[in-house]
Structure 1
């Protein structure tokens, strides 16, 4: 069985819908409340690579913390900033084996099962 993890925010409707959708499909991911237990720099870098996204493409630009992101920040600086301010990480992120998907819309995670 392939290991699965969901970076989850229980206050987010899309995150709750994604978790419910996975459970309906018989998938029981390890649920990580990433606001309480942010990913490490190495883990976030790995997941960004699995997603095929640059750090800014996984950032929630509407959050207040985004104002502190330097316009000229490089990849390593952006990842470190996201780890320090996990509220900036788009949610939910579903990691399944060597694939990852953002649950926006929630059904997007089904493509990697």
Structure 2
């Protein structure tokens, strides 16, 4: 089975649903609880680049610390923001999933993970809130 990694926060419903979808697909991923084991700056840079995100896309703007540190201000460089995320991993948007088909921030919808799962079509899945997820079987090309 190809390696799949999820940067996970068990306190986040979207992250829990994403992890459950991965497991529902028959994959046991490497689970990195990034609040306990924050990614290094180099790992963050790679995640951002591989997912096609900006560093600002990686920030949780609704986290109170975001406002407290005034991170919306344009004065912060990407390098500085990466350092801040490293110091305060709660500021990292989640979950981020890495598979052989790519890297994806699976927010705001956990079913976004289906695009990069290295398996055929997944059977219907019911999220925590009762919403059903139907997989179209479409996957991202590497």
* TM interval, short-chain normalised: over 0.9
Relative contact order, CA 8 A, sep 6+: which one is greater?
1
- Candidates 69, 87, 91, aligned match of 1:88: 91
The gaps in structure 2 that reach 5 residues or longer are: 118-142
Q: TM-score, normalised by structure 2?
A: 0.75
- Candidates 89, 93, 116, aligned match of 1:112: 116
Q: TM-score, normalised by structure 1?
A: 0.93
**Residues 48-73 of structure 1: CA deviation (Å, up to 9, x unaligned):** 00111111111111112213135311
Following TM superposition, the consecutive aligned residue runs of length 4 or more in structure 1 with deviations greater than 3 angstroms are: none
Q: Which structure has the highest helix share of the two?
A: 1
Distance in 1 separating the partners of 2:58 and 2:112: 15
CA contact (8 A) 2:6 2:95 kept: yes
Where 2:16 maps in the other structure, the secondary structure is helix
RMSD (CA atoms): 1.3
